[in-house]
Amino acid sequence: MVVYPESSRMTPVTRLLFVGDVMIGRLVNERLKHAPPRYPWGNVLPVFRSADVRICNLECVIADSGSPWTPKVFNFRSDRKNIRVLQAAGIDAVSLANNHSLDYGYDALLEMLPLLDHAGIKRAGAGRSLEEAMQPGVLTAGGMRIGLISFTDNEPRWEADAACPGVFYAPVDLADSRAMRLLQLVSEARAQTNLVVVAAHWGPNWGYQPQPHHIPFAHALVEAGADIIFGHSCHVFQGIELYRGAAIMYGCGDFVDDYRVHEVERNDQSFIFVVEVQDRQIVRLELRPTVITRHFQVRLAREAEAVEIAAKMQALCAELGTDAMWDEAQGALEIRAR
């Protein structure tokens, strides 16, 4: 059990929950034709309910319209009714700047945007124009305004512009004008909100270590005003770095999907990442190990496997100078930020 100092108990702790790629298309979508909306979430919903804000990367389009984007190999779409899957988990916001938001073309994307709005789910990273794709999703929790910005360095052909729908595309290159535009957006969000989250769908599909150029880029985002970097795209999790009071989660891995499991790089293993904020500062991170079952459900990892997954993350964090401690009683990995 976490015990805070006596002086801290007067100030509430706000818990922001993050999970990586949520893909409810293909075989998950087929299962949802008969299973209830809560089905993909397995036994994790009590953990979700313990958080004040829940954010995920939506790794598919939710719509009934559109045709598969060709010649793309993997195209993910979930039936329109499955917006209820996000609602069943209490998802408050989704990042849409990724390599699957336009898998079924512009029609499906344009169907999904108002669907999310009507469901009360904030969104960032894709839109009817570049201006909309860049617009932060703003949530309120714990007396704070939280801004979510979402960008990707995947699928440059899907880059939105003034007259064309698409995603907020920015190369991970500090010499690129689009990266400079992203940093400026972060600075503006910093002035308008109390906490800035940057969702980064970046890099290749595999590898437990962050790409070398991701580290200075993440640092630049923090220096511009980001408090939390919520990284995803890689199918496996990566280490966490604490930098200037910010939490950099370089890769949160896969959370729900129907993918084949790599025997070495275990893309079925990840975490529920909870960032605790007090007095508008990050004070603690709590990571609960998870596993995707062969029935397309996520569940909390059981004892021995949980310890194994946590030990892997501990080693990855240590490489980035971050101490992480396993709390056996809570079944969670803990990172103290102060």
Residue 29 lies in a domain: yes
Tell me: pLDDT of 332 over 90.
yes
Residue 171 lies in a domain: yes
Residue 321 lies in a domain: yes
Tell me: pLDDT of 178 over 60.
yes
pLDDT digits (tens, 9 = 90+) for 316-326: 999 999 999 99
Mean pLDDT of 176-197: 98
The CATH number for 105's domain is: 3.60.21.10
The reported pTM is 0.96
State residue 82 phi and psi, 5-degree precision: -80, 5
Residue 3 lies in a domain: no
Residue 202 lies in a domain: yes
What CA–CA distance (Å, rounded) separates 76 from 58? 10
pLDDT digits (tens, 9 = 90+) for 269-286: 999 999 999 999 999 999
Per-residue pLDDT, 11: 83
Residue 5 lies in a domain: no
Tell me: pLDDT of 9 over 70.
no
